[in-house]
Structure formats: C-alpha cells, structure tokens
Amino acid sequence: MLDVGGPLDRPQSDAKLDRYVAAFEHYGFTRWAIENHEGEFLGYTGIMHSRPAHPLGSHADIGWRLVRSAWGHGYATEAAAAALRDAFTRCGLKEVIAYTAPDNLRSQAVMARLCLRRDPSRDFSEPLGDRLWRGLVWVATQSR
C-alpha cells in the first residue's frame, strides 16, 4: 500500500467497500474477496470501472491487494485470471487495463503471468498527496 499512500483507516476502508458494492449494483462487476481453503481473508482482486476524471478516461481496470503473508503463493495470479475470465465472458468486456507504480515489481510479475501486454503510450501520472504518482499500464483484451 506504500505506493498509493499507505494503509486505510476504518472509515476509508468502509467507504471503499461501499464503492465496491455500488459498482457491482451499477456495472455487474467489482472487486472480490480472496480467501484460502480455511476461509482466512487474504485480500482482494477484481475488475472495477474507473473513477470519474481518471487520467485515462473511462475504462475497466483489474487490481489486487493481498496481505503480506499471502505474497508469493500464486493467489493474486489465480484470482486475477478468474476475474479476467469473468470480465470477458459473463460481463462482455472487450478490454481491461492494469496499472502499477514502476517499483512495484511483484504486481508487474503478476501482469506478466497473466499475459497482459505492456502499453507505455498509456502511462500516466497524477497527484497523490504531496507527490506525483506514476502508473505503468498493461492491457488485457478478450482475444488475449
């Protein structure tokens, strides 16, 4: 979470969950909780519609966040692959983008394992607190 401003407090987390519920009601897709076989919460993944005034305009993006103990076990790749299948089959999306900070090599590795195509022409920057956040962009298409 360091590359996006750090962990959320409870009100911020609750507001984020409310946005996810509203997104599902409006678009039919959203982020999903990830649990292991024992039912332990590991994080989330899924497709979201972009927020208003995003630097890339209107789009669907895939993202994931996992607790540190879940890193390196393939959970992000497995869950994100399922989310992409759902986006292209049930939801009928034609394109889903992913973006991350240049130093987030773990997320870039997940994007590579998902066979997303790097698209530097869509890289963007936007203010985040008192600094400028830079996003590197990858693309998944229905025919990937």
User: Structural domains in the chain?
Assistant: 2-141 (3.40.630.30)
Helices (H), the chain: 10-27, 75-88, 105-113
Query: What is the per-residue pLDDT across 111-139, written as a single tens digit (0 to 9) for each?
Result: 999 999 999 999 999 988 888 999 999 99
Mean pLDDT of the chain: 91
Query: What is the per-residue pLDDT across 34-56, written as a single tens digit (0 to 9) for each?
Result: 999 999 999 999 999 998 899 99
Which amino acid belongs to residue 42?
L
Q: pTM score, two decimals?
A: 0.87
Where does the chain show beta strands of DSSP type E?
31-35, 41-49, 60-66, 95-100, 117-118, 124-128, 131-141
